[in-house]
Amino acid sequence: MKRKVFATLDEAVADIPDGARIMFGGFGGAGFPNNLIQALARKGTRNITAISNNCGTRDGELGLMFKNNQIKHAIAAFPGPHANYFLERYAAKEVTLELVPQGILCERMRAAAAGLQGFYTTVGVGTEVAAGKEERVIEGQRCILEMPIHADFALIKAQKADELGNLTYRLAARNFNPIMAMAAKTTIAEVEEIVPVGAIDPEHVITPAIFVHRIVKAKGLRYA
Amino acid sequence: MKRKVFATLDEAVADIPDGARIMFGGFGGAGFPNNLIQALARKGTRNITAISNNCGTRDGELGLMFKNNQIKHAIAAFPGPHANYFLERYAAKEVTLELVPQGILCERMRAAAAGLQGFYTTVGVGTEVAAGKEERVIEGQRCILEMPIHADFALIKAQKADELGNLTYRLAARNFNPIMAMAAKTTIAEVEEIVPVGAIDPEHVITPAIFVHRIVKAKGLRYA
Amino acid sequence: MPDKPRLAREQIAQRAAQELTDGAYVNLGWGIPNLIADYLPAGITVYFHSENGILGMGRRAKPGEEDYDLVDAMKVPVTIIPGASFFHQADAHLMTRGGHLDAAVLGAFQVSEKGDLANWKIPGAKGTGNIGGAMDIAAGAKMLIVCMEHTTKDGSPKIVKECTYPLTALACVNTIVTDLAVMDVKPEGLLLREVAPGWTAEKVQAVTGAALHFKGHVREMSFV
Amino acid sequence: MPDKPRLAREQIAQRAAQELTDGAYVNLGWGIPNLIADYLPAGITVYFHSENGILGMGRRAKPGEEDYDLVDAMKVPVTIIPGASFFHQADAHLMTRGGHLDAAVLGAFQVSEKGDLANWKIPGAKGTGNIGGAMDIAAGAKMLIVCMEHTTKDGSPKIVKECTYPLTALACVNTIVTDLAVMDVKPEGLLLREVAPGWTAEKVQAVTGAALHFKGHVREMSFV
Report DSSP letters for A77-131, one per residue: S---TT-HHHHHHHHTTSSEEEE--HHHHHHHHHHHHTT--EEEESTTTTSGGGT
**Residues A80 and A113 reside in one and the same domain:** no
What is the pTM (predicted TM-score) of this model? Answer: 0.98
Confidence (pLDDT) at A22: 99
Q: What's the rounded Cα separation, in Å, for the pair D168 and A139?
A: 30
**Residues B115 and B213 reside in one and the same domain:** no
Reported confidence tier of residue D1, pLDDT bands at 50, 70, 90:
low
Min distance B176 CA to chain D CA atoms (Å): 5
Instruction: State whether residue A136 sits within 8 Å of chain B by CB.
Output: no
The gap between the terminal CA atoms of chain C, to the nearest Å, is: 28
Is B178 a member of any domain? yes
- Asked whether A78 and C132 are in contact (CB, 8 A), the reply is yes
**Residues B39 and B79 reside in one and the same domain:** yes
**Residues B90 and B163 reside in one and the same domain:** yes
C95 contacts in chain B (CB < 8 Å): 208, 210
Of B1, B110, B208, nearest to C85 by CB-CB distance is B208
Confidence (pLDDT) at B146: 98
**Residues B120 and B35 reside in one and the same domain:** no
The answer to whether the CB atoms of A197 and D94 lie below 8 A apart is no
Last residue of a domain, one of A148, A165, A180: A148
Of D83, D87, D95, nearest to A197 by CB-CB distance is D83
Q: What's the rounded Cα separation, in Å, for the pair C47 and C50?
A: 10
**Residues A160 and A132 reside in one and the same domain:** no
For B212, the closest chain C residue by CA position comes to: C100
B179-183, C41-45, D220-224, range with greatest mean pLDDT:
B179-183
Contacts of D64 (CB under 8 A, 6+ apart): none
Q: What's the rounded Cα separation, in Å, for the pair B158 and B167?
A: 6
Q: Per the residue annotation, which of C19, C51, C113, C194 is the catalytic one? A: C51
Q: What's the rounded Cα separation, in Å, for the pair B201 and B166?
A: 10
Of D69, D87, D97, nearest to B103 by CB-CB distance is D97
The answer to whether the CB atoms of D131 and B173 lie below 8 A apart is no
Cα angle: B55, vertex B61, B64; to 5 degrees: 85
Report the mean per-residue pLDDT for chain D: 96
pLDDT in tens, D111-166: 999 999 999 999 988 889 999 999 999 999 999 999 999 999 999 999 999 999 99
**Residues B90 and B191 reside in one and the same domain:** yes
Reported confidence tier of residue A53, pLDDT bands at 50, 70, 90:
very high
**Residues A77 and A94 reside in one and the same domain:** yes
What integer is the mean pLDDT of C176-194?
98
Report the mean per-residue pLDDT for chain C: 96
Is A78 a member of any domain? yes
Is B64 a member of any domain? yes
**Residues B114 and B154 reside in one and the same domain:** no
pLDDT in tens, A85-96: 999 999 999 999
The count of domains in chain B is 2
- Asked whether B145 and B134 are in contact (CB, 8 A), the reply is yes
The answer to whether the CB atoms of A80 and C126 lie below 8 A apart is no
**Residues B29 and B84 reside in one and the same domain:** yes
Residue C51 among the catalytic residues: yes
Is B7 a member of any domain? no
The answer to whether the CB atoms of C131 and A101 lie below 8 A apart is yes
One of 3.40.1080.10, 3.30.70.3270, 1.10.3720.10, 3.30.540.10 is the CATH number of C9-217, namely 3.40.1080.10
What integer is the mean pLDDT of B99-113?
98
Tell me: pLDDT of C132 over 80.
Answer: yes
pLDDT more than 90, % of chain C: 92
pLDDT in tens, D22-79: 999 999 998 999 999 999 999 999 999 999 999 999 999 999 999 999 999 999 999 9
Which domain covers residue B140, as residue numbers? 103-148
**Residues A45 and A95 reside in one and the same domain:** yes
CATH of the domain at B48: 3.40.1080.10
Is A206 a member of any domain? yes
The answer to whether the CB atoms of B121 and D97 lie below 8 A apart is yes
The answer to whether the CB atoms of C89 and A179 lie below 8 A apart is yes
Tell me: pLDDT of A2 over 80.
Answer: no
Q: What's the rounded Cα separation, in Å, for the pair A78 and B87?
A: 53
What integer is the mean pLDDT of C103-108?
98
Going by beta carbons, is chain D in contact with chain C, meaning 3 or more pairs sit under 8 Å apart?
no
Chains in contact with B via at least 3 Cβ–Cβ pairs below 8 Å? A, C, D
Confidence (pLDDT) at A192: 98
Mutate to test the interface with B, among A116, A168, A170, A204 (most CBs of B within 10 A): A116
Tell me: pLDDT of C1 over 80.
Answer: no
The answer to whether the CB atoms of A116 and B120 lie below 8 A apart is yes
Is A1 a member of any domain? no
- Asked whether B177 and D88 are in contact (CB, 8 A), the reply is yes
What integer is the mean pLDDT of D210-218?
94
What integer is the mean pLDDT of A120-146?
98
Pairs of residues, one from chain B and one from chain C, whose beta carbons lie less than 8 Å apart: 57
Is A91 a member of any domain? yes
ipTM of the complex: 0.97
The DSSP string of C95-157 is HHHTT-SSEEEE--SEEETT--EE-S--TT-SS----TTHHHHHHH-SSEEEE--SB-TTS-B
- Count how many residues are written for chain D: 224
**Residues A139 and A197 reside in one and the same domain:** no
